[in-house]
Amino acid sequence: MSKLNTVAADFAGQIAIAVWLGKLTEEAAHEALGSYAMACHQARRTPCLRLREALVIEYRRRRERQDACS
C-alpha cells in the first residue's frame, strides 16, 4: 500500500462526502477513485493499483466515520 499525499486523501474524502449526501453511488465512487489513480500514474499498472488501493482504504475509513456520526 502506498501512503497518500494530502491532495489524494482529500479527493477520497470528497468522494466519501458525495456518497454520504447521495450525490454518487458506491459504484460511481469506486470508478472515480480508479480514474484518479490512472490519471496520476498515466495508467502504469503497478503504481496505479497501489494508489487505487490506498484511495479505497481512505474512502472506506472516511465513510465509516460518516456512518458513525449519522
Question: Which residue reads 479527493 in cell numbers?
Answer: 11
pTM summary value: 0.88
Which own/partner pairs from 28-31 qualify as long-range (CB within 8 Å, at least 24 positions apart)?
29/59, 30/56
For 15, the enclosing helix (H) or strand (E) is: helix 6-20
pLDDT at 45 (0 to 100): 82
Which pLDDT score, from 0 to 100, does residue 33 have?
Answer: 97
Largest CA distance in the chain: 38
User: Going residue by residue through the chain (70 aa), what tens digit of pLDDT does each one get?
Assistant: 468 999 999 999 999 999 999 999 999 999 999 999 999 988 688 888 999 999 999 999 999 999 898 7
R_g (Cα) of the chain, nearest Å: 12
Where do the structural domains in the chain lie, given as residue ranges?
A: 6-69
